[in-house]
Amino acid sequence: MARRGLLIILSSPSGAGKSTLSRKLRDWDATIRFSVSATTRAPRPGEVDGQDYHFRTESDFRRMVAEGEMLEHAHVFGNFYGSPLAPVRAAIEAGCDVLFDIDWQGAQQIRNSRLKDNVLSIFLLPPSIAALRARLIGRGQDAPDTIAKRMQKSWDEISHWDAYDYVLINDDLEATEDRLRTIVSAERLRRDQQPDLVDHVRRLQSEYEDSR
């Protein structure tokens, strides 16, 4: 039977593993579409426009927000980030899941949007603050002052853990991946995600009445 698509929101403080687990989730099920965010920040080496991000000027980004073309948006570390609405709506109507790698602000906006009934939100916690700091340093991408800012923002992210449907402690990547798959599989079977169930039950009722 047909089902409605899910808006799978995966959030975590920077360095807690959401990008890695997002990739693994899509490797597990290639039908899951990734919501490619729009941003005003400059591309990093190797990033491709339309694949990693939709790179936009600040004026263009502000126009999209003003015209209702963003499902969610936020200002982070001096740049704007947001999720274009049109491709998300099209995917949901086609019964496809869409994966969001966003922060708590974006998650809150989506939960309050017209697509809120399709939301599945999952938050990833690090095993410890020390492990989180070590992961950020290990990336080798940011200067010490940037890492300090990210650590400060990380605690702000963690403070919103209880606003999510599910919370996973990412102390073992493989085990966390397994739990993530289980959650998605179960949510796809929710009664309200299967619009054809009502018609199926009516057919069963008709068959039952005819057999009496």
* Pairwise CA distance, residues 163 & 193, whole Å: 21
- Statement: residue 92 has pLDDT above 80: yes
pLDDT of residue 148: 84
- Whether 121 and 109 have beta carbons less than 8 Å apart is answered as no
Per-residue pLDDT tens digits for 125-174: 999 988 888 888 877 677 888 888 888 888 889 999 999 999 999 999 99
CA 73 to centroid of chain Cα atoms: 13
Question: For 79-108, what is the mean pLDDT?
Answer: 91
Please indicate, yes or no, whether the overall pTM of this predicted structure exceeds 0.75.
Answer: yes
- Statement: residue 108 has pLDDT above 90: yes
Average pLDDT, the chain: 91
Q: Is the dihedral of CA 176, 4, 165, 186 positive or negative?
A: negative
- Whether 117 and 52 have beta carbons less than 8 Å apart is answered as no
Q: Using 50, 70 and 90 to split pLDDT, how confident is the model at 1?
A: low
Question: For 32-53, what is the mean pLDDT?
Answer: 93
* Pairwise CA distance, residues 12 & 150, whole Å: 12
* Pairwise CA distance, residues 108 & 130, whole Å: 28
- Whether 53 and 37 have beta carbons less than 8 Å apart is answered as yes
pLDDT of residue 146: 80
- Ordered domains of the chain (ranges, CATH): 7-35+96-211 (3.40.50.300)
Strand partners, 82: 38, 73
